[in-house]
Amino acid sequence: EDQVTQSPEALRLQEGESSSLNCSYTVSGLRGLFWYRQDPGKGPEFLFTLYSAGEEKEKERLKATLTKKESFLHITAPKPEDSATYLCAVQAGGGGNKLTFGTGTQLKVEL
Amino acid sequence: DGGITQSPKYLFRKEGQNVTLSCEQNLNHDAMYWYRQDPGQGLRLIYYSQIVNDFQKGDIAEGYSVSREKKESFPLTVTSAQKNPTAFYLCASSEQGGTEAFFGQGTRLTVV
């Protein structure tokens, strides 16, 4: 059974204080690992897809990396508008297109 | 603008009543999904459809039903058999072939 574990559950940062969110996974044949951002009461917003170990993707202050067992979402010099819940999901080969999600990391960035 | 539209945003129903949640997409995606989100839990897959007139049960299909008569539409019915229907429901769509899924803005269902 595919599993995704995210840590920490919650993270409080000062503006400008860089940090990383972790996503550990077990999946039979990774087809893709996805990061989403979710604001309260809204649907998840797609951020990145990573397909193979060693791959990295960047968008503004966010950088996602992938190993064979985990992914990290690095946040550099965060701003209050980066406050949200960040979700990680995996897609297994042979499982159609369905995603298995972790429970998310709730990030709050304070002034 | 291309996207996924879920309606209504908020829905209130009495216990024992069936209710249907709407999901429409104009992204020309073949695959569509329904997820349920509860506090402290990850999104859980209810049903998914990879092509018109075909759909499969996800991890928590009991008490739910779907149809896929048109490529653009994938309505979800929450039946009276669903024991804990109060939740945030999310619809998503994707192209075939292992690409990212795009989500609607969700429907918050409250059953009293």
What is the sign of the dihedral through the CA atoms of A16, A22, A23 and A29? positive
Question: A97 versus B28: which is more confidently predicted?
Answer: B28
Let me know the angle formed at the C-alpha of B89 by B85 and B94, rounded to the nearest 5 degrees: 145
Mutate to test the interface with A, among B32, B36, B43, B56 (most CBs of A within 10 A): B43
| Residue A97 confidence (pLDDT) above 80 | no
Q: Residue B97's pLDDT is what?
A: 67
Residue A45 makes CB contacts below 8 A (sequence gap 6+) with A36, A37, A38, A39, B103
- Partners of B45 on chain A (C-beta within 8 Å) are 98-99
Antiparallel, parallel or unpaired: β B107-111 and B10-13 = parallel
In terms of Cβ atoms closer than 10 Å to its own Cβ (0-12, 13-18, 19+), residue A107 is: buried
Report which of B92, B89, B88, B75 is spatially closest to residue B27, judged by C-alpha positions.
B92
Q: Residue A24's pLDDT is what?
A: 98
Structural Rg of chain A based on CA atoms: 13
The pair of three-digit structure tokens given for residue A36, joined into one six-digit string:
């989403």
CB contact under 8 A, B98 and A97: yes
* Residue B26 at interface with chain A, using a CB cutoff of 8 Å: no
Chain B residue with CA closest to A33: the answer is B100
For B14-30, how does the pLDDT look when each residue is reduced to its tens digit (9 = 90+)?
A: 999 999 999 999 999 99
For A20-77, how does the pLDDT look when each residue is reduced to its tens digit (9 = 90+)?
A: 999 999 998 899 999 999 999 999 999 999 999 999 999 999 999 999 999 999 999 9
Q: Residue A28's pLDDT is what?
A: 86
* Residue B28 at interface with chain A, using a CB cutoff of 8 Å: no
- CA-CA distance, A44 to A46, in Å (whole number)? 6
SS3 per residue for chain B: CCCEEEECCEEEECCCCCEEEEEEECCCCCEEEEEEECCCCCCEEEEEEEECCEEEECCCCCCEEECCCECCECCEEECCCCCCCCEEEEEEEECCCCCCCEECCCEEEEEC
- CA-CA distance, A40 to A43, in Å (whole number)? 8
Residue-wise DSSP of A68-97: SSEEEEEE-S--GGG-EEEEEEEEETTSTT
Mutate to test the interface with A, among B34, B94, B100, B105 (most CBs of A within 10 A): B100
Stretches in chain B below the pLDDT threshold 70: 1, 97-98
